[in-house]
Structure 1
Amino acid sequence: MEVYLKISNHFAKKMTNYWINESTYDKLKLMKTIITTLITTFILTILSSILFFWPLTVFAYRLPLAKPAPMPNKKGIINSFQPDLSIAGAPLASKEQCVKHLLSVNPLPLITVSPQELVEIFYEEGLREGIRPDVAFAQSLHETGFFSYGGDVIALQNNYAGLGTTGGGTRGLTFPEARIGIRAQIQHLKAYSSFVLPALPIVDPRYELVKKATFFGNAKTWQSLNGRWAVPGKTYGQKILAIHQDIIKTK
């Protein structure tokens, strides 16, 4: 026996009544249940995705895996006639100029400390050993692509001068913190430019390798690092000094 149910159409402009049988009513209920389930599932999926991926998105925004390295010098022209400069000596640029120039090229540097703290460490370590801290910082900008990396070394290594890298995916040396990485870089520069031992215990694992080389203590200028610190590196020193000139011009 068919059973008929009387329902009201609430969507009409004028209230009307009509009749549907029980089987049709069951189908409508099933359809409503399916639609409700689909909508609920969709909303829950969106919410769970946001809750799961949002922290990763924030972290990735701060530390992306890789991005193209900016040009090492966007203002100056790198050429073989770049005036040379001694590795040892007093800084010619201020700490503020170093920070401003870095952030003008790369507003989000991939470093384990703040830009201000990083520059402060360069000055502390460099001045202690008599190495120009501003030019050593320029060297790190050249080596890391203004701390965007994209090469063999990654940000978490705290290796700002390509120490131990030989190409072909070799990661090079890793240091426990930014200060130790900078200290190793400064000590390495001192090994090239001076016969005097570093003031603090040696943390540069490659110091002794330089000490055994014929150029130990004899590479007095930045351009004398050409073909030594970097191979072939025919304009290695010039590129560093060009970046340094841009730092000096920063206001």
Structure 2
Amino acid sequence: MKKRCLYLLLLLCAVTSFGGVFMRPASSAALGGQEITQLPVLFDVTIMGPPLATQEQCVSHLLKHNPLPLITVSAAKLVNYYFEEGQREGIRPDFAFAQALHETGYFAYGGDVNPLQNNYCGLGTTGGGVKGAWFPSARIGVRAQIQHLLAYASSRPPVTPLVDPRYELLKRTVRFGKAVTWTDLNGKWAVPGIGYGQRILSIQQRILMGK
């Protein structure tokens, strides 16, 4: 209960510290009636903005749930890439990392994507054995994910050279730059994507609460 209250306090402080309201109540209707086993999500949060969790909290959370993640760099270095690339583009790095944890099963994989692909968000995967995009390094894989999130959240181009293989494709759709919050990704990033954003928010809550 104390950790839950601390999480809510952090969210409220973030509104005061960074100005403006970047949160809205998470809509239970977005779940489409599907049971979600993660923590209940009270607030939705914008995709763009500063981190709420620290790098240390992100690393600790990953290693607590998977001491041997299938990644090509250390956990600390991978998290550092998320913070560097995310903050450069204005994407919340801790939430982007939470998205990667959801997409890869805490870097245990088991689906179509091979850990050596450095593909942390299922870019280009469509199921049925389609492995999707390959990236030459962990940093470039993180950068591609951040750029893809930017394509959903903003119409401005990336600061860094484009490495997201699906950026231009998304740019030609009505979805380009229209996702304000993480639950706005429901039914867009993944199909059918019911509760997709809520799962990301729930993992990020666990990171903050040390669960």
| TM-score above 0.5 | yes
- For residue 190 of structure 2, what is the amino acid of its counterpart? A
Q: Matched residues in 1 for 2:109 and 2:135: separation?
A: 16
Q: Normalized against structure 2, the TM-score is what?
A: 0.81
1:213 is matched with which residue: 173, 176, 187? 173
Q: CA deviation at 1:81?
A: 5.1
Partner residue in 1 for 2:152: 192
Answering whether residue 93 of structure 2 is matched by residue 156 of structure 1, we say no
Q: CA deviation at 1:78?
A: 2.8
Structure 2 unmatched ranges of 5 or more? 1-35
On the 8 A contact 2:100/2:121 being kept in 1, the answer is yes
On the 8 A contact 2:41/2:202 being kept in 1, the answer is no
Point out the more displaced range, 119-128 or 80-89: 80-89
Partner residue in 1 for 2:47: 87
In structure 2, the CA distance between the partners of 1:147 and 1:212, relative to structure 1 (3 Å rule), is same
Answering whether residue 143 of structure 2 is matched by residue 183 of structure 1, we say yes
Q: CA deviation at 1:220?
A: 1.0
Structure 1 unmatched ranges of 5 or more? 1-75
SS in 2 for 1:142: helix
- For residue 210 of structure 2, what is the amino acid of its counterpart? T
Q: Matched residues in 2 for 1:113 and 1:80: separation?
A: 32
On the 8 A contact 2:154/2:177 being kept in 1, the answer is yes
SS in 2 for 1:151: coil
**Aligned CA-pair RMSD:** 1.5
In structure 2, the CA distance between the partners of 1:80 and 1:232, relative to structure 1 (3 Å rule), is farther
The correspondence of residues 65-76 of structure 1 with structure 2, limited to 5 A, is none
- For residue 158 of structure 2, what is the amino acid of its counterpart? P
Count residues in correspondence: 176
Report which of the two structures shows the higher radius of gyration computed on alpha carbons.
1
Partner residue in 1 for 2:4: none
On the 8 A contact 1:127/1:133 being kept in 2, the answer is yes
- For residue 203 of structure 2, what is the amino acid of its counterpart? I
In structure 2, the CA distance between the partners of 1:77 and 1:89, relative to structure 1 (3 Å rule), is same
- For residue 240 of structure 1, what is the amino acid of its counterpart? I
Q: CA deviation at 1:200?
A: 1.0
Whose relative contact order is higher, 1 or 2, with alpha carbons under 8 Å and at least 6 apart? 2
Q: Matched residues in 2 for 1:184 and 1:217: separation?
A: 16
